[in-house]
Amino acid sequence: GDRISMPPSVSLLFEVEDLAVASPATVSRAGMVYFDEDSLGWRPFVLSWVQRTFSGSQAVQQKMIEVFDKFVPKCLTCLHRDCQQLVPQAGDPCTVQGVC
């Protein structure tokens, strides 16, 4: 029942494969929300990150989104096609999150 306080600069993300054995109490206490990565993709995370990080400039936000839209699909295609990951990521959203 102990709580650990963290500064606003710290965020935790727990990624689980499924919620097959999670009780309703566990889900509500931990605030778990399950999204299938195939239906969500990487772009919503990037949009949220850009909005938070560059909140002072709409022009910078737009440029950053353009850069991600231009290069991330090409990089992910190259990664999947031409590279062998020694430590595989959980999916494209996690891979892109490492860039942000």
9-64 pLDDT, tens digit per residue, is 887 776 666 767 777 777 776 666 666 766 778 898 899 999 999 999 999 999 99
Name residue, tokens 């600069």: 9
- d(Cα 43, Cα 70) in Å, to the nearest integer? 12
Which one is predicted more confidently, 84 or 24? 84
Q: Is the separation of the CB atoms in 93 and 37 below 8 Å? A: yes
* pLDDT computed for residue 6 by the predictor: 82
* pLDDT computed for residue 77 by the predictor: 93
* pLDDT computed for residue 87 by the predictor: 80
How many helices and strands, by DSSP H and E, does the chain display? Answer: 5, 0
Question: Phi and psi at residue 52, in whole multiples of 5°?
Answer: -70, -45
| Cα 11 from chain centre | 12
